[in-house]
């Protein structure tokens, strides 16, 4: 079995294929798809000008690279559970798709993403039969519960909400045996900020408190109802400070300033999730052993794909460069 020391040596080579900040700066200056294609030629993506005009084709190329990266990581990691923490979001995306397809009796297979520890066929079998010999009993039970609730209410939103909440439970199940404070902190930050984003969106739509509570995860660092109070009492600023443990340092000043001015948008909080994760695993930069190098690499690859997707979309839709820059994920 590959050791983390051996794996991290391989990653140090693979990291050289990641696009650098200087390269992204040049990509940002690209005035058209021809220039963007030329700048991407030395990279692993090699998107030509024609492909860049079709965002569906761009997505296919980007996801193919991500799929290849995760398959390699599952095959090589001494602890595949670490890779699974990154791929679970795709598993539960697929759960949503399959549950909606089952409920509507519609073929939605074109929306499935073949990323995960188990093959899509196993997930399809689970959702179709509500039984599985391949997935843990906890996962099977969650899917059964979501479907049962849908049958009671006949509301597609039950499937959406149920899959989101099951995703967070699964993250904690998988992280617990690792016994690693950094991964556990990462998951709590993700869940806490998900709850905050959910409350902000619900309030923007004037949803009642009872409705909000149904949307919130109970797997957070505090009782879910407190996230509603947090917004009402304007205590988000103090809470932000508690999110910044000694494990890592994230500069929260820009977020705090937007909060003071009443200009903190949901998209800012979504970016904050990625910013926290980036800084959390940045300490891995100089490690030669241990799992954080792998986590950092997978995160960097995910951000790279997000940034390239954003650049292609910006060119296709004539988005101002300033809007693109503020939405880009950390690089390097």
What's 30's domain CATH number? 1.10.132.50
- Could you tell me the pLDDT band of residue 148, with boundaries at 50, 70 and 90? very high
Q: What is the CATH number of the domain that holds 129?
A: 1.20.1690
Domain-terminating residue out of 158, 175, 192: 175
Domain-terminating residue out of 175, 197, 231: 175
**245 and 321: one domain?**
no
**Full-model pTM:** 0.92
**306 and 329: one domain?**
yes
Task: Summarize the confidence of residues 202-227 as an average pLDDT.
Answer: 90
Q: What would you report as the CA-atom Rg of the chain, rounded to the nearest whole angstrom?
A: 21
**37 and 86: one domain?**
no
**213 and 158: one domain?**
no
**295 and 223: one domain?**
no
Tokens of 126: 């689970």
**108 and 165: one domain?**
yes
Task: Summarize the confidence of residues 292-314 as an average pLDDT.
Answer: 95
What residue numbers bound the domain in which 63 lies? 1-74+291-332
Task: Summarize the confidence of residues 65-69 as an average pLDDT.
Answer: 97
Smallest CA-to-CA distance from 264 within 293, 239, 300, 299 is with 239
**208 and 260: one domain?**
yes
Tally the domains of the chain. Answer: 3
> Looking at residue 247, what is its pLDDT?
42
**205 and 260: one domain?**
yes
**109 and 193: one domain?**
no
Alpha-carbon torsion 201, 204, 205, 206, what sign?
positive
Task: Quick: pLDDT tens for 77-109.
Answer: 999 999 999 999 999 999 999 999 999 999 999
Smallest CA-to-CA distance from 108 within 67, 153, 159, 148 is with 159
C-alpha separations of 240 from 171, 180, 220, 245, 276 in Å: 22, 23, 14, 10, 11
Q: Is residue 234 predicted with pLDDT exceeding 70?
A: no
**104 and 154: one domain?**
yes
Mutual angle of helices 55-76 and 80-104, in 10-degree steps: 130
Domain-terminating residue out of 150, 175, 200: 175
> Looking at residue 266, what is its pLDDT?
77
């Amino acid at each position: 079995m590959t050791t983390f020391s051996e794996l991290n040596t391989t990653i140090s080579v693979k990291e050289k294929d990641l696009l650098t900040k200087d390269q992204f700066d040049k990509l940002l200056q690209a005035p058209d798809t021809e220039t963007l294609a030329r700048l991407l030629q030395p990279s692993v993506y090699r998107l030509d000008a024609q492909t860049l005009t079709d965002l569906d084709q761009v997505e296919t190329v980007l996801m193919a690279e991500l799929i290849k990266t995760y398959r390699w990581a599952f095959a090589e990691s001494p602890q595949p559970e670490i890779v699974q923490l990154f791929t679970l979001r795709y598993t539960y995306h697929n759960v949503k798709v399959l549950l909606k397809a089952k409920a509507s009796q519609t073929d939605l297979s074109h929306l499935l993403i073949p990323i995960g520890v188990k093959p899509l066929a196993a997930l399809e079998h689970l959702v179709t039969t509500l039984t599985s010999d391949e997935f843990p009993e906890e996962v099977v039970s969650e899917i059964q519960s979501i479907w049962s609730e849908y049958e009671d209410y006949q509301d597609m939103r039950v499937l959406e909400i149920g899959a989101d909440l099951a995703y967070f439970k699964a993250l904690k199940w998988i992280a617990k045996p690792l016994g690693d404070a950094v991964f556990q902190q990462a998951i709590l930050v993700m869940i806490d900020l998900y709850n905050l984003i959910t409350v902000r969106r619900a309030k923007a739509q004037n949803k009642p408190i009872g409705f909000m509570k149904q949307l919130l995860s109970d797997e957070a660092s505090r009782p879910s109802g407190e996230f509603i109070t947090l917004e009402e009492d304007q205590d988000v600023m103090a809470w932000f400070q508690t999110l910044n443990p000694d494990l890592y340092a994230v500069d929260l000043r820009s977020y705090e300033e937007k909060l003071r001015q009443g200009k903190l948008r949901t998209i800012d909080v979504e970016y904050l999730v990625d910013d926290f994760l980036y800084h959390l695993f940045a300490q891995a930069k100089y490690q030669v052993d241990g799992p954080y190098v792998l986590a950092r690499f997978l995160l960097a690859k995910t951000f790279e794909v997000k940034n390239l997707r954003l650049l292609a979309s910006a060119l296709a839709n004539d988005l101002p460069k300033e809007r693109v820059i503020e939405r880009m994920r950390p690089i390097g």
